[in-house]
Amino acid sequence: MQFRLDNLTRQFGSQKAVDSVSIEIPTGQMVGVIGRSGAGKSTLLRMINRLVDPTSGSIRFGDVEISTLRGAALRNWQRDCAMIFQQFNLVPRLDVLTNVLLGRLNHRSTALSMLNIFSREERLMAIAALERLGIEQTALQAAGTLSGGQQQRVAIARALMQSPKMVLADEPIASLDPLNAKIVMDALRDINEREGITVITNLHTLDTARNYCERIIGMARGRVVFDGAPSELTADAVHEIYGADRHGAGIDETMTSTSINIAHQDNDAARKIPSPGLRPLAAAEA
Ligand SMILES: Nc1ncnc2c1ncn2[C@@H]1O[C@H](COP(=O)(O)OP(=O)(O)OP(=O)(O)O)[C@@H](O)[C@H]1O
Ligand SMILES: [Mg+2]
């Protein structure tokens, strides 16, 4: 099923946060969206999920126009494209298992949902999702007591419970330390590879996008300024995406990367773990 944006635009006042973006994404791609702070990455993802309405343009999934969906059809779409946030968005006082089960809400009747009644199948599915992410031992713990990395894994388990067609992740590792960042990115890659689910993820660091994504979309000032494979991301392309800093100096990859090599990866020394979300470019801009 082809997913396609045509001239998608979102204006806030006189400013175009996303400006005439047209892209096609075939099912099963793992796409990284990069760009400096304010480039429009979050607005783009939020429009796809319809958390933000487009000012103009179209979002099509197969034959369905997403940008005008309302009511139940809109809720079904939001179930189909699960969203993962930097700040996890769990219900901290509820236990982990219940948080994961909440991913089923749009699959069930309102009455059952209100009563918080989940079937045995749903509970087994939730436990399987937790097992897959290696956090089944936390099932009965309040979600708010988990570490950031564990909470993001709970959020991914909840997303899996939605049986999504697409996973959208808005800087999923920006609040995590390098080890947890790697665990979370590996989990997203696993979902992409094993289930063939399209993953579109905003990332603050270039090295993470290079390591994990088969396709990189670079945004600047609301527009797509790069769209290609990691191998095509030349120094010129990086400069086009991130621009020069305010002192006129070019921004090289080291500034968009905080990689640390892990010692036990000695058979693959070139491979770096994903960076935590330092925001050097945002800082340069301030
Ligand atoms: N609700 C809003 N009201 C007004 N302006 C907004 C709103 N949301 C976003 N913007 C503006 O739109 C532009 C793009 O913002 P967006 O959050 O999409 O950028 P981003 O690439 O995700 O940045 P970051 O890397 O900091 O998360 C920014 O200039 C931002 O200030
Ligand atoms: Mg953002």
The CATH number of the domain holding residue 40 is 3.40.50.300
Does any ligand 1 atom lie closer than 6 A to the CB of residue 41? yes
- Residue 207's closest CA among 172, 245, 255, 139? 255
Does any ligand 1 atom lie closer than 6 A to the CB of residue 40? yes
| Inter-residue contact 223 to 243 (CB < 8 Å) | no
Please write the tens of the pLDDT for every residue from 176-210.
999 999 999 999 999 999 999 999 999 988 999 99
Q: Which residues pair with 270 in a beta bridge?
A: none
Averaged over 108-116, what is the pLDDT? 60
Does any ligand 1 atom lie closer than 6 A to the CB of residue 39? yes
Say how many C-beta atoms besides its own lie within 10 A of residue 195's C-beta.
Answer: 15
d(CA 95, CA 110): 21
Say how many C-beta atoms besides its own lie within 10 A of residue 248's C-beta.
Answer: 6
Q: What is the whole-number distance in angstroms between the Cα of residue 267 and the centre of ligand 2?
A: 35
d(CA 92, CA 81): 23
d(CA 264, CA 210): 21
Pocket of ligand 1, candidates 9, 21, 41: which has the most ligand atoms within 8 Å of its Cβ, to mutate?
A: 41
Enclosing domain of residue 60: 3-285
Q: What is the whole-number distance in angstroms between the Cα of residue 182 and the centre of ligand 1?
A: 26
Q: What is the whole-number distance in angstroms between the Cα of residue 275 and the centre of ligand 2?
A: 16
In the structure, ligand 2 is a single-atom ion and the residues with CB under 5 Å from it are 41-42
Say how many C-beta atoms besides its own lie within 10 A of residue 93's C-beta.
Answer: 11
10 three-state secondary structure: strand
Q: What is the phi/psi pair of residue 200, to 5°?
A: -120, 120
CA-closest residue to ligand 1 atom 31: 38
Q: What is the whole-number distance in angstroms between the Cα of residue 32 and the centre of ligand 2?
A: 13
Q: What is the whole-number distance in angstroms between the Cα of residue 256 and the centre of ligand 1?
A: 19
Q: Which residues pair with 5 in a beta bridge?
A: 23, 59
Ligand 1: nearest atom to the Cα of 44: 18
Lowest mean pLDDT among 124-128, 169-173, 222-226, 278-282: 278-282
Place of tokens 């990367």: 257
Chain centre distance of CA 104: 19
- Residue 131's closest CA among 123, 238, 246, 58? 123
Residues in the chain: 286
Averaged over 144-155, what is the pLDDT? 96
- Residue 42's closest CA among 242, 222, 275, 255? 222
Residue type, position 159, single letter: A
More confident site: 285 or 26: 26
Does any ligand 1 atom lie closer than 6 A to the CB of residue 37? yes
Residue ranges in 196-234 assigned as alpha helix (H): 206-212
284 pLDDT band, cuts 50/70/90, is: very low
Give yes or no for residue 256 having a pLDDT over 70.
Answer: no
Q: What is the whole-number distance in angstroms between the Cα of residue 199 and the centre of ligand 1?
A: 21
Q: What is the whole-number distance in angstroms between the Cα of residue 44 and the centre of ligand 1?
A: 10
% pLDDT > 90, the chain: 76
Which ligand lies nearest to the CA atom of residue 10 in the structure? 1
Q: Report the predicted TM-score, pTM, of the whole model to 2 decimal places.
A: 0.86
Domain total in the chain: 1
Pocket of ligand 1, candidates 9, 12, 46: which has the most ligand atoms within 8 Å of its Cβ, to mutate?
A: 12
Which ligand lies nearest to the CA atom of residue 39 in the structure? 1
